[in-house]
Amino acid sequence: MVTLYFLLAVFILLAAWLGWRYFILRRGIGEMTEQIKRGDEATERSSELGELASVRNTQHAILHSQLVSSESQRARLSAILDQLTDGVLIADADGRVQFANPAAEKLFGSPLAGRSVVEAVRHHQLADAWRRCRETGGLQTESVEVPASRQFLQLIVVPDRDTRGGTLLLVQDLTRVRKLETVRRDFISNLSHELRTPLASLKALTETLQDGALTDAEAAPRFLGRIHTEVDALTQMAQELLDLSKIESGQIELVLRKVDPLAVLKSAADRMRLQAERAGVSLTVETATPPNVRADAARLEGVLVNLIHNAVKFTRRGGSVTLSAVEEEGAVVFAVRDTGVGIPSDDLPRIFERFYRVDKSRAGSGTGLGLSIARHIVEAHGGRIWAESREGEGSAFFFSIPVTPN
């Protein structure tokens, strides 16, 4: 009987112990569940749950690391898309824009999200390219010129492999590239013309001299003088091309010193006086006492010589060219005014562009590099250059150079 009671007592103690361990395990699991809900690291001191907690913590750490990495990648991708100058649109299978970066909204207007692709891109050629991409499942490209804004846009559409029926649209504004290509073609055409004219003249003159004019005491000096003039023109053209190349590559060097504006005006006028006299154009310098400027005197004189040369060239015999320099709002404004043929209003905004030439009334006027070079030099001094003109009423070119601080 005692043995039976002993066994019963042992059984009761074992059952109590098992019940207590069950309670501990259940409470531990409950606490771990609450920790998981809060995103805290699971902690458990009991040996039974320690391994489970360790495994759970490892999984939690891996998941957290993946989430952080995913968010970091998303942030980097978002930053890249926001900084892109090309427009990016992502459309779903229903043809609705789900994402559009700032460049796309600038091109097509904002907001774009939620709108149909056809409505967003606005131009039927671009919409047709998007439709072809959806139908064929392959890359499509399309270009369109927008007359109202003078923009040239190129669209590239590719299917989104991650979403069935979705598409990715890349829109590039190639207006500047198209403009540079046009300028390049114009420059090559103009340069070819400018080279052909003096070279043809040189060929004709040398052939005439070879045919016997060299022994003609009256004709020979005249022909040699014309050869000298043509060679000077070619030399000037080569120098302008070299100067522009240096400016564009950032190799322009300014020797800045305190400069008297009036002295620079007079020096430039003296260099161009003979050309003005031969053209029958009066060249005068208005006397004034503007303050000194900090500048490269040789470069400033070169700008003035270029402006005076143009003014004399396009002023009829009996006309005049006037030079001046006055202080205005912390800068000295140099001016070259003429009574010449003037500049058409359509050409005036573009005369300082590289290689641009005013065609009307200005045939054979050079490569169109001089004013572009002048603009770069003035801007390198911290100033600006501009022009005012009416066709048939003359022109006035101005540029400003900051006054030297006391």
Q: How far apart are CA 372 and CA 82, in angstroms?
A: 34
Question: What six digits make up the tokens of 110?
Answer: 């904002």
- Number of domains present in the structure of the chain: 4
Residue 9 lies in a domain: no
Residue 75 lies in a domain: yes
Q: Are residues 327 and 265 in the same domain?
A: yes
Identify the CATH number of the domain in which residue 166 sits.
3.30.450.20
Q: Are residues 121 and 41 in the same domain?
A: no
The domain boundary residue, chosen from 148, 173, 198: 173
Per-residue pLDDT of the chain (406 residues), as tens digits, is 545 545 555 555 555 555 555 545 555 555 655 655 555 554 545 444 455 556 556 655 666 565 555 566 666 666 666 667 788 888 888 878 888 888 777 777 778 787 887 877 777 788 888 888 888 888 888 888 877 677 888 888 888 776 677 888 888 888 888 888 887 787 777 777 777 778 888 888 888 888 877 777 777 888 888 888 888 878 877 887 888 778 777 777 888 999 999 999 999 999 999 999 999 999 999 988 889 999 999 999 999 999 999 999 999 999 999 999 999 988 999 999 999 999 888 888 888 887 677 754 444 456 678 888 899 999 989 999 999 998 888 999 999 999 877 6
Residue 10 lies in a domain: no
pLDDT for position 361: 43
Residue 164 lies in a domain: yes
pLDDT for position 24: 53
Its domain, for residue 130, covers 84-173
Residue 12 lies in a domain: no
CB 387 within 8 A of CB 343: yes
pLDDT for position 383: 93
Closest CA to 373 of 341, 395, 399, 348: 399
Q: Are residues 96 and 156 in the same domain?
A: yes
CB 193 within 8 A of CB 359: no
Q: Are residues 244 and 288 in the same domain?
A: no
